[in-house]
Amino acid sequence: MLETRELRAEGIVLPSNPVTRKSLISTAVLTGILWIVFVFLAANGRLTFPLLPVVGTVWLAYQWRRSMSLTSEKDHLRKERNALGADPC
């Protein structure tokens, strides 16, 4: 919570719902299950369209990219603070 306040004080606004490792893992598991169901149905000759697995994959990529940008932004700020002689986080 303290780190969030420090970032806001420096003018960096974080998203309202931060991407956590747990949310990334759960999205990846759900997307994987959807792909497995799609492959199973397609292998059994059912007429299927992979709309949900594709949407899940796009959402997972978006969340992963968001988490990487937030991580790199935080790392950059830590390096700046260390360069200025502030206490390391």
pLDDT > 90 in the chain, percent: 45
Q: Predicted confidence band at 74 (pLDDT cuts at 50, 70, 90)? A: low
> Which residue in this structure is represented by tokens 């719902």?
17
CB 70 within 8 A of CB 60: no
Which H or E run contains 75? helix 51-83
Indicate if the pLDDT at residue 50 is higher than 90.
yes
- In this structure, the number of other CB atoms found within 10 A of the CB of residue 72 comes to 10
Tell me what the mean pLDDT of segment 40-50 comes to: 93
